[in-house]
Amino acid sequence: MSTAGATADPLAALGALPGVADSVESVRKSVDRVYGHRIMRRRSNAITSEAALRGARGSAALAGADWALEEVRRRTDFSGDDEARTVGAALRLTAEAGQLLSIWRQSPLRVLARLHLVAAADQADQVGRPRQEGEPVDEPLVGLPLPSAAEAHGRLEGLAGLIIAGGSAPALVTAAVVHGELLALRPFTSHNGLVARTAERIVLIGSGLDPKSVCAAEVGHAELGREAYLDALDGYLSGTAEGMAAWIAHCGRAVELGARESMAVCEALQRGAA
CATH number for the domain formed by residue range(s) 10-271: 1.10.3290.10
pLDDT at 5: 43
Q: Decide: 120 and 127 in contact? Cβ < 8 Å.
A: yes
pLDDT at 6: 47
Mean of the per-residue pLDDT values for the chain? 92
User: Does pLDDT of 1 surpass 60?
Assistant: no
pLDDT at 2: 45
User: 27-41, 113-127, 199-213, 215-229: which has the minimum mean pLDDT?
Assistant: 113-127
C-alpha–C-alpha distance, residues 200 and 196, integer Å: 6
Residue 273 — pLDDT band, cuts 50, 70, 90? low
Residues 6 or more apart whose CB falls under 8 angstroms from that of 41 comprise: none
Neighbour-count burial of 209, counting CB atoms closer than 10 A to its CB (0-12 exposed, 13-18 middle, 19+ buried): buried
Residue 272 — pLDDT band, cuts 50, 70, 90? confident
pLDDT at 123: 65
- Would you tell me how many other CB atoms lie within 10 Å of the CB of residue 218? 30
Q: Decide: 175 and 221 in contact? Cβ < 8 Å.
A: no
Give the residue from 235, 142, 170, 129 showing the smallest Cα distance to 23.
Answer: 170
User: Does pLDDT of 4 surpass 50?
Assistant: no
